[in-house]
Structure 1
Amino acid sequence: MKTIYSLCFILIVLASCTSQQTESLFNGKDLTGWHVDVPDMDNNPEAINPFIVRDGNLVSLGNPQGHLITDKSYENYKLDVEYRFAGEPGNCGVLVHASTPRVLYGMFPKSIEVQMQHGDAGDFWCIGENIKVDNMVERRGPKESWGVIEGKKRRIKNLTDNSEKPLGEWNHMTIEVKADSVRVWVNGDLVNEGYEATAQKGQIAVQAEGSEVEFRKLELTQL
């Protein structure tokens, strides 16, 4: 009997540890744990906050453009994101390893973007940080054009087509960040895999980039 009690206690402790490793970055009610960086809001008193909570979902209205950024920094984690373009197809992204604000075009923080643009989900965009993939020339273009600043080839194309759900349906994106690697799945398909990233930790950001996007899940599990 003592052995049974001991086993039960161990199982309870293990379950507790597992649950403590996972946290929802969005509480379904407000933007606690996040801050907004939208250049238009600096000096324009009429500019609205493009990040709102509606019907329990986090909504990026798309305009004015900018970012919603976690207050905390993270490393070695898995991020599960459920999102959809409920109206028109458009553009958005999740940024990992975000740090210095507004290093690109006066708006984008230093980071690696995981693209969510409809039809291109899973592309990498290098924003002041860099990352490598296999078949780099095929997926990024001529090596002499690569870079992480304006005018350079910063886009690294994903590995698949047709991994996204039809417009209006919910997509499930998983981003796994481990040491200097970043792997991305969309609806179960491995769509990108990078390594030798120039950053291994940082904040997480969601974009407002011209299109309305709904998020019903932003859940982080420490690895």
Structure 2
Amino acid sequence: MLRALRSMVAVCCLLILAASVAYAEETDTVSLFNSKDLTGWHADVPALDNDSDATGPFIVRDGNLVSLGTPGGHLITDEEHENYRIQVEYRFAGKPGNCGVLVHASKPRALYDMFPQSIEVQMMHENAGDFWCIVEDITVDNMVERRGPKDKWGITEGKSRRILNLTDGSENKVGEWNTMIIECVGDDVKVWVNGDFVNHGYKCTASKGHIAVQAEGSEVEFRKMELTPIKELSADDTKWEEK
């Protein structure tokens, strides 16, 4: 009986592996940040609209991309991306605070005249991995438990836009580096923090767009931002198709 049970487990593992292979295949990894300057990115900072001499919140320091936190705004990739995994290594070097990685970003200043239309993957200290819906929507399991009463859900100002992550205690101590991995394939978004699987959303209302990081009140350092494109199986299940 034990031998039969082991055989069943082995078969299940093979089926899971086969399903994962059929789901997606990684291709070459590229760095979104060259450790020297902000080539490949552009900033959208409302406070700079009427003051061209003001200091922007995004700089390169000691080979790291730094969000100074203020004035508030976003640093956005010049290119759009679809079907990928992004690995971000970040830390709050001083006081813990707030920041986020935005995926599927499109229309600028769509919310509160500040935030681009997108899905935010939260980096706020002790809340890393939460989703915030920013004029885009996403579904998770146990939606009421994690988002609140359904009649309050929404994607615009004043609505319940936060979706709690699945774990507590995944972040390292303030000052230590964290690794966040975000995988976007089709209408799925999955998130890991320091190896913990912390969120999974599906039926996202967007499947491609720019990637952005925030200046939202706290200084945050980024030492790695690597993107791995993913090839998704085509509809006829007979060949790999670059998306």
Q: TM-score, normalised by structure 2?
A: 0.83
* Cα distance in structure 2, aligned partners of 1:21 and 1:150: 39
User: Which of the residues 25, 37, 40 maps onto 2:32?
Assistant: 25
User: Which of the residues 102, 120, 124 maps onto 2:127?
Assistant: 120
- Number of residue pairs aligned between Structure 1 and Structure 2: 206
Q: Which amino acid is 2:141 matched to? A: D
* Cα distance in structure 1, aligned partners of 2:85 and 2:27: 14
Give CA-to-partner distance per residue, 1:71-130, whole Å, 9 cap, x none. Answer: 000000000000000000000000000000000000100000000000000000000000
Q: Which amino acid is 2:50 matched to? A: N
* Cα distance in structure 2, aligned partners of 1:20 and 1:103: 33
Partner of 1:83: 90
Q: Which amino acid is 1:150 matched to? A: E
How far did residue 48 of structure 1 move?
1.0
How far did residue 47 of structure 1 move?
2.1
How far did residue 20 of structure 1 move?
6.5
Partner of 1:164: 171
Please state whether the residue corresponding to 1:221 is helix, strand or coil.
Answer: strand
Q: Which amino acid is 1:103 matched to? A: A
* Cα distance in structure 2, aligned partners of 1:68 and 1:142: 33
Partner of 1:212: 219
Partner of 1:175: 182
* Cα distance in structure 2, aligned partners of 1:46 and 1:120: 35
* Cα distance in structure 1, aligned partners of 2:191 and 2:206: 17
Q: Which amino acid is 1:66 matched to? A: G
Q: Which amino acid is 2:222 matched to? A: F
Q: Is the 8 A contact 2:26 2:229 kept in 1?
A: no
Partner of 2:156: 149
* Cα distance in structure 1, aligned partners of 2:26 and 2:186: 22
Give CA-to-partner distance per residue, 1:122-141, whole Å, 9 cap, x none. Answer: 00000000000000000000
Please state whether the residue corresponding to 1:150 is helix, strand or coil.
Answer: coil
How far did residue 19 of structure 1 move?
9.8
* Cα distance in structure 1, aligned partners of 2:72 and 2:199: 26
* Cα distance in structure 2, aligned partners of 1:137 and 1:20: 37
Partner of 1:186: 193
Sequence identity (%): 71
Please state whether the residue corresponding to 2:82 is helix, strand or coil.
Answer: coil
Runs of 4+ more than 6 Å apart = none
* Cα distance in structure 1, aligned partners of 2:220 and 2:70: 11
Please state whether the residue corresponding to 1:202 is helix, strand or coil.
Answer: strand
How far did residue 21 of structure 1 move?
1.9
Q: TM-score, normalised by structure 1?
A: 0.91
Q: Please give the residue correspondences for 1:74-113 in structure 2 after superposition, counting only pairs within 5 Å.
A: 74-113=81-120
Partner of 2:17: none
Q: Which amino acid is 2:94 matched to? A: G
Q: Is the 8 A contact 1:181 1:196 kept in 2?
A: yes
User: Which of the residues 47, 57, 64 maps onto 2:54?
Assistant: 47
Q: Is the 8 A contact 2:152 2:159 kept in 1?
A: yes
In the alignment, does 2:111 pair up with 1:139? no
* Cα distance in structure 2, aligned partners of 1:59 and 1:177: 24
Q: Which amino acid is 1:180 matched to? A: D
Unaligned 5+ runs, structure 1: 1-17
* Cα distance in structure 1, aligned partners of 2:104 and 2:138: 11
Partner of 2:77: 70
* Cα distance in structure 1, aligned partners of 2:124 and 2:137: 20
| Distance 1:19-1:152 versus aligned 2 partners, 3 A rule | closer
* Cα distance in structure 2, aligned partners of 1:80 and 1:201: 17
* Cα distance in structure 1, aligned partners of 2:52 and 2:91: 30
RMSD, aligned α-carbons = 1.2
